[in-house]
Amino acid sequence: MNEIIRQVLHGKPHIHIGKFGISEAVIDQIKTQFNTKTIIKIKFLSIEGFPNIKIAVHYLANVSNSKVLDIRGKTCILQKV
């Protein structure tokens, strides 16, 4: 499992969250990615509406039924539960 996490961590993000932050479309996109992948990488341009990246990532994990594996800078790794 660690090899998969390493590949995702060093690969390109599956989802980019733009300047408008987290929207329903972004949440739907995450859920769609989880249909074919177990672990996804998300890169944030903005965390509009949240005080910090950690809270934004945990919110995403909660609404997408996943868990947070890693947060580095403005990038996170989520795993489908």
The string of pLDDT tens digits covering residues 7-45 is: 998 999 999 999 889 999 999 999 999 999 999 999 999
What is the model's pTM?
0.92
Query: What is the total count of domains within the chain?
Result: 1
pLDDT bucket at 56, cuts 50 / 70 / 90 = very high
Domain ranges, residue 22? 2-80
Task: Tell me, letter by letter, the H, E, C secondary structure of the chain.
Answer: CHHHHHHHHHCCCCEEECCCCCCHHHHHHHHHHHHHCCEEEEEECCCCCCCCHHHHHHHHHHHCCEEEEEEECCEEEEEEC
pLDDT bucket at 1, cuts 50 / 70 / 90 = low
CATH number at residue 63: 3.30.110.60
